Amino acid sequence: MRRRIFIVGSGKRVRETALPALRASESWELAGIASRKAKPLPDGAETREVIALDTLTAARLEGLDLIYLVVAKHAVPAVLQQLGPLVPASCELLIETPVMLFKHLGHLDRLDAFRRVWVSEDCYTLPCWDPLLATGECFTHAHFEQSAYAYHGFAMARAVLGRDRVETARSRTAGRTVRFAGGSHFTTREPRDYSVGRLTIAGPGRLIADHDPGRAHRRLAALGTDDELLGFRLDDADHVLAQAEREVVGTPAGGDGLFRWMDGMKRVGFLRLLEALAADRPAYSLEDALEDAVVDYWLHRFGRYRATAFSDPRRKPARMSYRLLTKTAGLLRP
């Protein structure tokens, strides 16, 4: 039986990623879409009728398995407050990155209305990670040369290096250095530009790269043609995309590297998140996503981060301090 998903939001992310992924999926049935205003919304050869969010009722959401929430960042707390009394007790939530703005983190308790909460961080499930994960090797360092952006870069690094907590992070003009508690770390060079973006992975064996780094290495490469992505290769092993995944890739952007396929890879990553949830497997965790966003905020604001009881969003004192911050900013109701 197909599971039922309801989308709250109707912007570019819905049109260009969520709807194509749902058309390709055999696991999900789209139960409806709500947005700030009612309107028609193109969906491939069809047109969906989007209803106004303020007309949403509990009866309309009855029997849902999942709500995908993708609205403007500043609107997230208010929309969660509206959805809370309406959602069935068995309904889960897939929420867009970065979950909430830093100043809104005092509203995290509004997520409690849902049975479980996941984050739609599709950079964690990019298909280019398949060959790396298949090696079973424990990589210790990843370098993203103009190929990682903000909190998404943390998810990309976690996909390759593992899901340890962030211990320290530092930002300079040229990029970032982030160290995880388990000892691995990743670096970035900015600004992000997928047309020239590159990737280098280090571990116990020879260096892995999607380009020529000027020394002995193993090559990670895309399979297919200039206009068609079929999968990825590392060493002599090919990792081919499933048919449904090929359907959502689309065409590449400019450039000649692996990351020219980034838009299509993210659609595949989103589809994989949906398929994981349909099979009762985890998607990207709320805890990891909150940490990604909080560390990213600290780096933008102060240039450095160190995990402490009052900065680590996984810890109770930090959650209490966020609530105080939100209240001080006048964003909590009395």
Angle at 244 between CA 241 and CA 249, to 5 degrees: 70
DSSP string, 29-60: EEEEEEESS-EEEEETTEEEEEEEGGG--HHH
Q: List, in sequence order, every residue forming a beta bridge with 161; answer none if it has no partner.
A: none
In this prediction the pTM is 0.96
**What is 124-278's CATH number?**
3.30.360
- The CATH H-level superfamily of 3-122 is NAD(P)-binding Rossmann-like Domain (3.40.50.720)
Task: Summarize pLDDT for 10-36 with one digit per residue, the tens.
Answer: 999 999 999 999 999 999 999 999 999
Q: Where are the domains of the chain?
A: 3-122, 124-278
DSSP string, 147-202: ---HHHHHHHHHHHH--PPEEEEEEETTEEEEEETTS-EEEEESS--TTT-EEEEE
How many CB atoms are closer than 10 A to CB 199?
Answer: 22
How many CB atoms are closer than 10 A to CB 320?
Answer: 13
Predicted pLDDT at 234: 97
Alpha-carbon distance of 119 to 88, in angstroms, equals 19
Predicted pLDDT at 334: 39
Alpha-carbon distance of 319 to 209, in angstroms, equals 39
Task: Summarize pLDDT for 194-205 with one digit per residue, the tens.
Answer: 999 999 999 988
Which residue in 313, 289, 19, 263 sits closest to 128, CA to CA?
Answer: 263
Question: Which parts of the chain sit beneath pLDDT 70?
Answer: 331-334
Predicted pLDDT at 332: 66
